[in-house]
Amino acid sequence: MTDLCVRMCAMVRKILISVVALLLSFSALAQSEKLYLDTDFNFDFDNTEYSGSGFGPSETLFGVSLAPVLRYEWSEKHSLGVGVNMQKWFGSVRFLDDIDFVAYYQYKDEKYGALAGLFRRDKLMGRYSEAFFSNAWLAKNRLVQGLALQYHDKVGFAELVADWNGMYSMECREQFRILFSGEGRFAKVMYAGAAFEMQHYANRADFHYNVVDNLVVNPYLGVAFNAFFDFDIRLGYLQTLQRDRLTGGGWQTPYGTELFFRMSRWGVFISNNFYIGDDLLPLYDSMGKEGTIYGADLYAADPFYRTESAYYNRTGIGYEQNFWKERIKVKAEFVLKTDGERMYNQQIISLGVNIAPKLYDKTTKRTK
């Protein structure tokens, strides 16, 4: 424990020295400079009762994450952030379960945006089904390591992301994702869009020729309107293209359709997602050269998309609201899931807090 604390203190000291050096190097280049301490705090509780389903064990994900980042902004459009992202799961014997370096450059104006480096995933704007990312996976993987290009205006948005989440080494496979999400609104209440993922799950340094390709495309059409309640109804199509080069079995093309419905008012909501189609995760139980199944290391999706009954339904009842100019976000949800044979449940509670006090403003020549 003592050695870990010493190493952490040394790392934090190095980060602070790096930040000071960066600030000094940029101070002569900008006319408008500001320094913020962005702090993201997340509390996550995700309890699943999946025993007997074959989709995974009953387990509880319960913990917090904290990401303090010093962000230097100049010319009102450019930012440079340096900090750490820390996670602690309750009940763990470790002081910290995960700690990652955060360092990114961001450009942002009225329409265009770009991010490069290691940055929080909540900076993305895309709309992705749980056939892409489950709630639990997002709670464990809060950082994007790569690049994001963004565009948005009054009628829609588009986003392209490259996320490199596995370096070729003796410890892990080379792995990256290319993501795209775009959406446009029309006829006042209607919208149409698409999401795309191309995942490359490749070799490790101690073995070769065990590459998996996984592509998912999700075009959708929706309508969002208010009739005392806020309604959001969306119909989407999911098409995958997957290949395990180890087995040489060729491409697999499972697909399906999902219908999403949500009704809400005063923060209280009821939602339903009905999926009908193939098992979208056909390689989940396949085994790699290292002797372990691909499982969640390959697939970030909700495991219920592995359905063998061509049917999956998710119903959620809960409360979701933002406070203090969206700096505090609260969500509590009770979920019922079924594959047409048995009913399973899940409980989700999350609290997100984001504050960004201004530490320095060059225009006033003093701290705030």
Greater model confidence, 128 or 249 = 128
Dump pLDDT digits (tens) for 62-80.
999 999 999 999 988 999 9
- The mean predicted confidence, pLDDT, of the chain is 90
d(CA 266, CA 319): 9
Q: What is the DSSP annotation of 271-282?
A: EEEEEEES-S-T
277 occurs within a structural domain: yes
Instruction: Give residue 367's pLDDT.
Output: 52
Q: How confident is the model at residue 288 (pLDDT cuts 50, 70, 90)?
A: confident
Q: Is residue 3 predicted with pLDDT exceeding 70?
A: no
Among 286-295, 328-337, 340-349, the least confident range: 286-295
Looking up tokens 């339903």, which residue turns up? 272
Question: Mean pLDDT highest for which of 54-63, 266-275, 280-289, 300-309?
Answer: 266-275
d(CA 108, CA 150): 9
Q: Which residues contact 355 (CB under 8 A, 6 or more apart)?
A: 38, 39, 327
Contacts 24+ apart (CB under 8 A), 25-28: 26/72, 26/74, 26/80
| Rg of the chain (C-alpha set) | 22
Q: What is the DSSP annotation of 58-69?
A: -EEEEEEEEEEE
Domain range for 306 is 42-62+106-357
Greater model confidence, 290 or 304 = 304
Q: Specify the number of domains making up the chain.
A: 1
Which CATH number goes with the domain that contains 213?
2.40.160
d(CA 178, CA 149): 12
Asked if 210 and 203 touch (Cβ cutoff 8 Å), the reply is yes
Asked if 294 and 306 touch (Cβ cutoff 8 Å), the reply is no
User: Pick from 233, 285, 299: which is nearest to 261 by CA?
Assistant: 233
d(CA 302, CA 346): 12
Cβ neighbours, 10 Å, residue 276? 15
Q: Is residue 122 predicted with pLDDT exceeding 60?
A: yes
Q: Which two tokens stand for residue 327?
A: 């700096």
Give the mean pLDDT of 26-48: 83
Q: Is residue 4 predicted with pLDDT exceeding 70?
A: no
Instruction: Give residue 366's pLDDT.
Output: 56
Q: Is residue 314 predicted with pLDDT exceeding 90?
A: yes
338 occurs within a structural domain: yes
Dump pLDDT digits (tens) for 127-143.
999 999 999 999 999 99
Instruction: Give residue 13's pLDDT.
Output: 62
Instruction: Give residue 368's pLDDT.
Output: 47
Instruction: Give residue 52's pLDDT.
Output: 80
d(CA 287, CA 344): 27
Greater model confidence, 41 or 26 = 41
Q: How confident is the model at residue 344 (pLDDT cuts 50, 70, 90)?
A: very high
211 occurs within a structural domain: yes
Looking up tokens 């980060």, which residue turns up? 15
Q: Which two tokens stand for residue 204?
A: 């490790």
67 occurs within a structural domain: no
Instruction: Give residue 19's pLDDT.
Output: 53
Cβ neighbours, 10 Å, residue 81? 24
78 occurs within a structural domain: no
Instruction: Give residue 326's pLDDT.
Output: 87
Q: Is residue 365 predicted with pLDDT exceeding 70?
A: no
Cβ neighbours, 10 Å, residue 90? 12
SS3 category, 190: strand
Q: Is residue 245 predicted with pLDDT exceeding 60?
A: yes
User: Pick from 38, 123, 125, 114: which is nearest to 82 by CA?
Assistant: 38
368 occurs within a structural domain: no
Among 2-6, 152-156, 199-203, the least confident range: 2-6
User: Pick from 50, 47, 129, 97: which is nearest to 349 by CA?
Assistant: 47
Q: Which two tokens stand for residue 59?
A: 């387990």
84 occurs within a structural domain: no
